[in-house]
Structure 1
Amino acid sequence: MSNHNSLPPRSPLSSTPPSNGGSQAKLGLVPTNNVTTSDGVTVRARIDPTLTVADVVRQLCVNLKIKGSPSDFALRDEFHELVTNDNLRKKIKAKLDLKLVNAPNKEGREIAERLQARDQKTMRLTLYTLQRYIRENEFASEFINYDGVAQLVDIIFTSQGNTLAYALTAMQNLMELDYGWASLDEAFIFRVVQVLSSPQSLINVCRPATAILKKLVEADPSDAPGLQVGSSKGAPAVIPGSVYHYGFTIVFEQMRKEKSLLETIVNRLGSADTAMAQYSMMLINSLLSHANDVRWEEFIAEMERFNMRKAVVRLMSQHMVEDLTSSILDFQANMLKVTYRKKSTPVNVEDQPSHVADLNYIWNHSKLIQEVDENGQQLKWRKLGFDTEDIELEFNDVGILGLECLKRFVERDPDFSKMVLEQLSRPAERRCPIAKASNEVVELLSEHWAIFAPGYSTTTTFQPFFLDFYKVHALATNFFLRMWSESGAASGDFVRVVALVRSQVKVALHSENVRAWHEVEHDFLKCEYRAVRDRQMKELEKEDDLLSKIPVRNLRAKIFKESYEFVRQQRTQCLLQGAWFVIALPGNAPQPRDSRRPSKPWRFVRLDNSLKYLHYIDSAVKFPVRGGLEDLPDRIEIAAISKIATGTCVPPPNVLRDHNDLPPTSPLAPSPLSFSLLSIHEEQGSLADLIAADQSRWADWTDGLNLLRKDGGHVASDETAGFVQVLTEIGLKIKLLDLSGEMVEIPSGLTAGSPPPNTDFFFSELI
């Protein structure tokens, strides 16, 4: 660097003080940057982009006669982002204002020391600076080494108001790193729980507190980087010093100490602050997706007690729903897991007092008296419509989901005992088996909502009726009883009535994202038997009765799971291969004043093999990108993405129209093939705004990115959902051809024989 009176032609770094004269105009002809020192001195510098940042800083220190070692200084841009060797060229070309500031390691030491001093006059400013820089590795390492984390934790314990908000936000940002916060103990977690459970806590306090709990839930040993799924049958070992030693159990143990916490979180879903509602929704999704066997049933029961489902259904109809769409779809996917888990969890009267309590509730409200039949056997559960007295066997196919549905059905009907007595007053062959009908309705609803396996959901729309599963079950069960009576059914007609109810379920619950609840009630309560029968007969002409048999339904569930997994892997492979996109403008961004084509309108994006980062490069033209990541200098962390918003971006001027491989669209209207990667930090907004070349690439990437997320990813495109369904149907038909070609008779169900009286037997080998 030369002084401002002499600019040598070969100087890699030249500067001059700002001026209103002709010299400044001449300098404007070449790329220059304003550089401001900590003393407030500003110079205009022409920086050689081939230099390293260390060389630039060294020459600035020499030319500006700044005392101290150049290693104690660094450059930041006007947005406080650290200038590195990777982004120096970009910032020079953009002519961004730069600042000569303390190096990150020096700043980290000084802030740790200032926190220890506890100067209340400068505390907020120090914390504000900390929350901005703590994500940087050099800063964080030095801050951690100088006991900064312990000081920050102490401030969180002792502060209130905005000071607490800044401290919690700094901790939230620190937790984006995979190190430095492994020392957080149960006392700290409980402090965050207390802050979050207090109705008096400010919104700007609750947001980071919610994010911290979410991060702790996801810091489970099974989520540690590098751990291969399915690589170990047992629980993964905790690596000493790793931050991945928390998880659901540790967090929920502290949550249980504050009984009002879950209720408060649910109530905050109705907050007028959209970000607060979204943070609460994301925490709930993380808890649901990470809940383990130890406290699972207790946690789900608490959620049900505070009407979590109803709160989400209300969100679906509110004005801010667009910002919460991704989180709501995640919640639906998680509730599908919960429902499947309940359905596959057997009723256990020996070890589960809650199951016994539910059964006693059902029996007591029937107001029946236990008797003995003509064979001297107990006559109790058969009076309610079960086939046997083995209550665990009766709920074998529907698990505790069936038990809970029957209990809720009894709760909703104050005349349940009269209903039971009415059936018992009829001849035995004319009685409707109420309990058996209830279980069959559970199976029909599970089939309708594809509750086949945990973690496999292809819905792309809201399902408010699914979230009201118990209410729909009660309506459908009453419909079953009415069809039984109106059709004059006898004991041999059970399958026929089941077919009627299946037909009505399809009609009543279709297009549930746009239908009103009163329409569903009308379809179940007012539809006459003759109309249902006529429609069902027409459906039988088009459908194969074989598909409704239980073994075939189970086969469909198995193939559905395989198809879903296949499509998920295909989407991930697309991300690993990479693709070109147009860099879009956010929908709310001001339109450019001119229509000039952007200098670099294209971006190539590729997922790395660790599935943790999206690497990319911006370019003026598309070019062949080599395998690997060498050509992709920039990256976005997957964990920093809160959601994938779709249809939110507009194309830049004069880009799409020049390429036949991209769809035409208005420059002012959002492209249907656009998507945005929104940051977990609201102030950062979108991390990337892109437009795909076609519908298939858009579906590959939006669904692929959604399914990578830890807190319950979901399918967002009809194309992906359609692929899963088509593969399932094709696979099912191929399997059935094997059977039908051999003329194998498929039974409607299989009944297990009685167990051997002793163990004195062996299995013979087939020859």
Structure 2
Amino acid sequence: MSTAASTRSPLASSAATNGTQVKPGALVPTNNVTTGDGLTVRARIDPTLTVDDVVKQLCINLQIKEPPSHFALRDENDELVTNDNLRRKIKTKVNLKLVNAPAREAKETAEKLRQRNEKLRLTLFSLQKFIREEQFAQEFLNNDGLAELVDVIDTSSGNTLAYALTAMQNLMELDYGWSTLDDRFIFRVVQILSSPQSLINVCRPATAILKKLVEADPMSAPGPLLASSSRALPSAPPGSVYRYGFHIVFEQMRKEKGLLETVVSRLGSADTAMAQYSMMLINSLLAHASDIRWDEFIAELERLNVRKAVVRLMSLHTIEDLTSCILDFQANIVRVTYRKKTTDVDPEFEPTHAAALDYIWNCSKLDEEVDSTGQQLKWRKLGFDTENILEEFHDVGVLGLDCLKRFVDSDPDFSKVVLEQLSRPEERRCPIGKASNEVVELLAEHWAIFAPGYSTSTTFQPFFLDFFKVHSLATHFFLRMWSESGAAYGDFTRVAALVQSQIKLALRSENVRAWHDVEHDFLECEYRAVRDRQMKELELEDDLLSKVPVRNLRAKLYKESFEFVRQQRIQCLLQGAWFVNALPQSSPRDAVRRPSRPWRFMRLDIGMKYLHYVDSAVKFLVRNGLEDLPERIDVSLISEIATGTCIPPPNVLRDQDGLPTGSPLGPSLLSFSLLSAHEGSLADLIAPDQSRWADWTDGLNMLRRDGGHVASKETAGFVQALTEIGLKIKLLDLSGEMVEIPSGLVAGPPPTNTDFFFSELM
């Protein structure tokens, strides 16, 4: 390596060390290197050297007497120069700085935090950048820096607090070093976040810290991604940061009553990043909620009407950065809905269930009676088949109870509706309670509430988030169809089929339809029109597919198909692919030249923690492994996979590339961006074809532990196709033998004692 002093430097030397000769006029890039004394030298650096060798030679040439191990190189943006990125920075002639080594800088930073002098804010500003570096972080932690940082957070405010919280947020991106954070610290963050007076730049990192703590439960420890939604938490090993989780954080949140209300209110913040952070925290809480506080947490969210706040976000035109978060929220509400549907109603042990049933009965304004056989006559008056309310709600669970309560609550004339039915001959009465539960089943089937944690919706579903409102409309429609068709009790299935047909019609294309159109379809559509349409649909459908056992089989196959496609998508990430390095849509096309390295190969590592990549002027054969991929992106930093965001660089995409570019002024149809909540875009890429685009956008979404939604219609189509093919193959075994499939199975009485065993049949 040779150095030549600038006009500001008294040094003038030219040396060839380590056997490396640099000839005058040789095509070797020259970098400007600035020292801590403000001197700038021009250095021709051999790209085959290691960073340690480069620093050592600089110290020799600049006659620095301190050990070279005390120094390191950074670029103009303070990014640390490593063996992985040295060659790139040399080739692009990046201006470099000779600075303190990360370990030395970390030791001095920890000492400055202890002193709390007037330069504290500047120290914290630097700390939030350097803390992500492993060498810096380890030394910072070894010098008790974490305790000092916690103390600063505990006692500061304003921008000083914002810098300190951001530093803590960045430290927590490491999977070690912060396992000593205690309840007192968590409660301090909760207090900061719940204060309406807190600045936006304070609330953003505070929200991210709580989110990280929620996700740091033992179930999220590094290892294979879990397909199960079980919340049974194993114990964390000593020193592991995966020792927190929902139950730890929520206990502190409960002490600050207004926290959730404040977080939900910030979904409407004019600051998009703040809305995004708040949405991500809510999603993490939903995804990790523990059994013991699940009911309390969900009830509080429902009270705060978080669904309405999210629906309002859907209607905005500046939500590109929030799209993934909203789809995550929809997937989480699918989990919530499924769990409610499969949770039994038990008024004896659940006071909330008993209170809901009492409310429904009191609103009916009926009196209990005794029938001709001397049996209680109560719930049968409301249209249930029996007085066993636990059995009546067995198939729809707490979801059915909540829907019936909301239906009663939304209709001030509910008692009149009940009396009207009771005034009719018994066989002509519409069974209100049974109809309500049937509508719940139909809506659950329409929105594929088949299994926890699986959602193939690629678009916004505002009507799904208004589940209770749709249920009320559909139940009223059921009552109207019953009356207009002159139905008797034996016609229940026929009327249910009419309602199912109308649900499909009213809820079609819900991402673009207005709510008043849905109301019109349920309130204004006449019986004859519904019947005619339904008869045409029956000509094209197989009655077998509507049987309850077949619907349950489809639900099971749907879950298996989703998991199969999910594993396939992640396998594509592990194999890697070539992409075009794209430009943000806002880039002025005329002013941008063809980049020197327009192509990028990207591959996920086996541990699923990093996306490794290399940028190149041309495509080349990339070997297996990571040797050819020197750069990497931390997957944990990806908070959003935004699609349709970028334009191709000029003169890179040609017809023979097979890459549709969209309109000349618009983004490429195959573009996507990996966005970080606090770093902006980590990568802007264009896929080579539709399949590769679907593989990577959905694979990355499925890879995220707080994600799980599907972004492309292609992936959603694969899941549905696999489900239907699997269903038809299963049914061939039955229909080929002309076996009659019953609509339901009745379980026999339980054994009277335990004197029995299950035989192992071979």
Shorter-chain TM-score bucket reads over 0.9
Give deviations 1:42-62, integer Å, cap 9, x for gaps: 111111111211121122222
Aligned to 1:254: 252
Deviations along 1:377-413, whole A, 9 cap, x unmatched? 1111111111111111110000000000000111101
Counterparts of 2:692 and 2:442 in 1: how far apart (Å)?
35
- Match of residue 7 from structure 1: 14
Residues 122-201 of structure 1 aligned to structure 2 (within 5 Å)? 122-201=119-198
Distance in 1 between residues matched to 2:141 and 2:609, nearest whole Å: 24
C-alpha separation in 1, matches of 2:324 and 2:284: 13
1:534, CA displacement in angstroms? Answer: 0.8
Q: 1:498 to 1:34 in 2, by over 3 A?
A: same
Matched, 1:85 2:83: yes
Q: Using the alignment, how far apart are the partners of 1:109 and 1:268 within structure 2?
A: 38
Q: Which residue of 1 aligns with 2:210?
A: 213
CA distance in 1, matches of 2:514, 2:354: 37
TM-score, normalised to structure 2, is 0.96
Displacement of 1:523 in angstroms is 0.6
The 2-side partners of 1:59 and 1:512 are apart by 66
> Aligned partner of 2:54: which letter?
V
Q: Equivalents in 2 of 1:169, 1:758: separation in Å?
A: 62
> Which residue identity lines up with residue 720 of structure 1 in the other structure?
T
Cα contact 2:454–2:708 (8 A) shared by 1: no
Take 2:135 and 2:560, find their aligned partners in 1: how far apart are those partners?
Answer: 45
Decide whether aligned partners of structure 1 residues 757 and 420 sit closer, same or farther in structure 2, where only a CA change above 3 A counts.
farther
- Structure 1's 516 and 594: CA in aligned 2 closer, same or farther, altered over 3 A? closer
Question: What displacement does 1:593 show?
Answer: 3.6
**Partner SS, residue 99 of structure 1:** strand
Output the CA distance in 2 between the equivalents of 1:295 and 1:234. 13
The reply on whether 1:676 has 2:683 as its aligned counterpart is: no
Per mean C-alpha deviation after superposition, the further-off stretch among 487-496 and 737-746 is: 737-746
Match of 2:8 in 1: none
Q: Which residue of 1 aligns with 2:744?
A: 749
The 5 A counterparts of 1:699-714 are 699-714=694-709
SS at match of 1:262: helix
CA offset at residue 203 of structure 1? Answer: 0.2
Aligned partner of 1:31 in structure 2 is: 29
What is the aligned residue count? Answer: 754
Alpha carbons of 1:220 and 1:9: their partners in 2 closer, same or farther (altered >3 Å)? closer
Q: Give a deviation string over 1:255-278, Cα, whole Å, max 9, x none.
A: 011110000000000000000000
Is the 2:589–2:650 contact (alpha carbons within 8 Å) kept by the matching residues of 1?
Answer: no
Supply the AA of the counterpart residue of 2:580: V
Residues 2 and 289 of structure 1, relative CA distance in 2, 3 Å threshold: closer
- Corresponding position of 2:389: 391
Tell me the SS of whatever aligns to 1:135.
coil
Relative to structure 2, which stretch is displaced further, 275-284 or 223-232? 223-232
Q: Do the aligned partners of residues 646 and 373 (structure 1) sit closer, same or farther apart at CA in structure 2, a change above 3 Å counting?
A: same
Give per-residue Cα distances to partners, 1:539-587, cap 9 Å, x unaligned: 1111112211211111111111111111111111111111111111222
Q: SS at 1:359's partner residue?
A: helix
Q: How does 1:314-329 map to 2 (within 5 A)?
A: 314-329=312-327
Q: Aligned in 2, Cα 1:641/1:2: closer, same or farther, shift over 3 Å?
A: closer
Q: 3-state SS of the aligned residue for 1:33?
A: strand
Residues 234/359 of structure 1: CA separation in 2 closer, same or farther (3 Å cut): closer
Q: What amino acid is aligned across from residue 177 of structure 2 in structure 1?
A: G
Alpha carbons 1:330, 1:712 under 8 Å: kept: yes
Q: CA deviation at 1:292?
A: 1.5
Deviation track 1:316-351 (CA, whole Å, cap 9, x = no partner) reads: 011322221110011001000100010011111222
Instruction: Tell me, yes or no, if the aligned pair for 2:583 and 2:649 is still in contact at 8 Å.
Output: yes
Offset of 1:624 from its aligned partner?
2.1
1:657/1:664 contact within 8 Å kept: no
Deviation string 1:75-130 (CA, Å, 9 cap, x unpaired) is: 100011001111111101111111111110000000000000011x1010000000
SS at match of 1:454: coil
Distance (whole Å) between structure 2 residues aligned to residue 756 and residue 291 of structure 1: 36
Ranges in structure 1 where 5+ consecutive residues have no aligned partner: 16-25
Q: Identity over the aligned pairs, expressed in percent? A: 76
Q: Which of residues 659, 662, 674 in structure 2 aligns to 1:662?
A: 659
Q: Deviations over 1:118-152 (max 9, x none)?
A: 11x10100000000100001111111111111000
Note the 1:52-63 alignment, pairs <5 A.
52-63=50-61
Map 1:228-239 to 2 at 5 A: 229=226, 235-239=233-237
Query: Helix, strand or coil: the match of 2:601?
Result: strand
Aligned residue in 2 for 1:719: 714
Determine the C-alpha separation between the residues in 1 that align with 2:506 and 2:757.
Answer: 52
| Cα distance in 1 for residues equivalent to 2:279 and 2:591 | 39
Unaligned runs of 5+ in 2: 6-11
- The DSSP-based 3-state class of the residue aligned with 1:686 is strand
Aligned mates of 2:597, 2:754 — CA distance in 1: 76
1:431-580 aligned at under 5 Å gives the runs 431-580=429-578
Q: Assess if the C-alpha contact under 8 Å between 1:13 and 1:47 holds in 2.
A: no
Whether the 8 Å contact between 2:640 and 2:676 is mirrored in structure 1 is: yes
Greater Cα shift, 656-665 or 234-243: 656-665
- 2:292 counterpart SS class: coil
The answer to whether the 8 A contact 1:2-1:14 is kept is: no
- Name the CA shift for 1:292/1:744 in 2 (closer, same or farther; >3 Å): same
Give the aligned partner of residue 348 of structure 2.
Answer: 350
Do the aligned partners of 1:2 and 1:11 also contact (CA within 8 Å) in 2?
A: no
Structure 1 residue 588: Cα displacement: 2.2
TM-score when scaled to structure 1? 0.95
Select which of 630, 634, 640 maps to 1:633.
630
Letter in 1 for 2:242: Y
SS at match of 1:656: coil
Shift, 1:180, TM fit:
1.2
Report the CA distance between 1:752 and its aligned residue.
2.5
The aligned residue for residue 18 of structure 1 is none
Measured against aligned partners, the alpha-carbon deviations of 1:204-239 in whole angstroms (never above 9, x if no partner) come to: 000000000000001010111136748999632211
| 2:597 aligned partner, one-letter code | K
TM-superposed deviation, 1:656 = 1.6
| Cα distance in 2 between the residues matched to 1:594 and 1:433 | 69
**Deviation at residue 589 of structure 1 after TM alignment:** 3.0
Q: Tell me by how many angstroms 1:505 deviates.
A: 0.3
Q: Secondary structure at the match of 1:294?
A: helix
